[in-house]
Amino acid sequence: MKGKFKNISTAIIIYTLLVVMGVVLLPYASRSKENCLKVIRLYCDVVFWILKKLFNIKILVKGRLPDNSASIICSKHQSFLDVLILLKALPEPKFIMKSELTWVPVLATYAKKIGCVKVKRNDNARSWYALKQVINEEAENQSGQLVIYPEGTRTNPGQEIKYKKGVLVLFSSLKRPLYLVSTNAGVAWSKNGIFKENTTATINFIEKINYSKKEGLKLDYIKENIERDSLNLYNEEVA
C-alpha cells in the first residue's frame, strides 16, 4: 500500500509540475523556440532529480547522438520517461505525436512551439495526409530532429508489436539520416505509472543510416535492430 501511494503521489507531483512550470514560464517560452526548449529541458531536469531522490532511478544516454543538422529519430517507446530523455538529449527535437495529446492545453502549446506534428492513430487516411504535410514542411528545414515512434503507442519492456511504415515514407521522402534508438525506460517507469527503485533508464542510439538510392531500407531491419537492442537493455537491467 505504501508503494502504491508513493507511485501515485510521485506521478501527481510530476504532472502537476508540468502544468505549473508550463503556465508560469509560458511568457518566457513563447518568445522563441530556443526559450521553449530551455523551459522543457528545465522540466526534464526537475523530473530526473525527483526520480533520483525518491526511487534512485538513473538516466543514461548511450551511442552516437545526432548533431543539429536535419535528421529522423526512430525510437522505441515505453513510457513518458523516454520522451523526456529524448527532449533533454536531442539538440532540437520535434515529435510526431498522437492527436489526442493536442487536447492537453499546456502540453499542446509547448509541442506546437517546438514544431511537433499530430497524427490520428486510428485513421489511416488522416495519418497519411499528416505525414505528407510533415514532408512538405520539413523539406525546407536544415536543422532539427524529427522523432517518430514506429509502433504508434507505448509498449511494455520485452513486448513487440507491428511497426508502421511511416518511418520509411519519411526516410525515402526527406532523404536525411535516420537514427535507430532503443530503450528500456519502461523498466524504471512503466506505461501504467509504476516506478521501480534502483533502476537505470537507458536510451541507446544504435545506428545512423544515411539515405542511399541504391540501398532500400526495410522495415524488418529497423524493427529487428531496435527490438533486439531494447530487449538486451531490458535483460541487462532486470539481471
In contact, 35 and 28? CB cutoff 8 Å: yes
Q: What is the pLDDT of residues 98-119, one digit of tens each?
A: 766 666 678 888 998 999 887 7
Cα gap 43→189, rounded to integer Å: 17
Which of the 8 DSSP states describes residue 163?
Answer: P
pLDDT at 126: 64
Query: Which domains, from first to last, does the chain contain?
Result: 2-238 (3.40.1130)
Per-residue confidence (pLDDT) for residue 140, from 0 to 100: 80
Question: How many other C-beta atoms are found inside a 10 Å radius of the C-beta of residue 239?
Answer: 5
Q: What is the DSSP string of 201-225?
A: EEEEEEEEE---SSSPPPHHHHHHH
Angle between helices 80-89 and 33-55 (to 10 degrees): 130
What's this model's pTM, rounded to 2 decimal places?
Answer: 0.92
Q: Give pLDDT tens digits for 192-239.
A: 899 999 999 999 999 999 998 767 899 999 999 999 999 999 999 987
With contact defined as beta carbons under 8 Å apart, do 174 and 138 qualify? yes
Residue 202: closest CA among 235, 177, 224? 235
CA pseudo-torsion sign 39, 37, 33, 147: negative
What are the φ/ψ torsions at residue 50 (nearest 5 degrees)? -60, -45
Share of the chain above pLDDT 90, in %: 73
DSSP string, 50-112: HHHHHH--EEEEEE----SBSEEEEE---SHHHHHHHHHHSSSEEEEEEGGGGGSHHHHHHHH
Strand order in the sheet with 58-63: 58-63, 200-209, 178-183, 71-75, 145-148, 93-98, 117-119
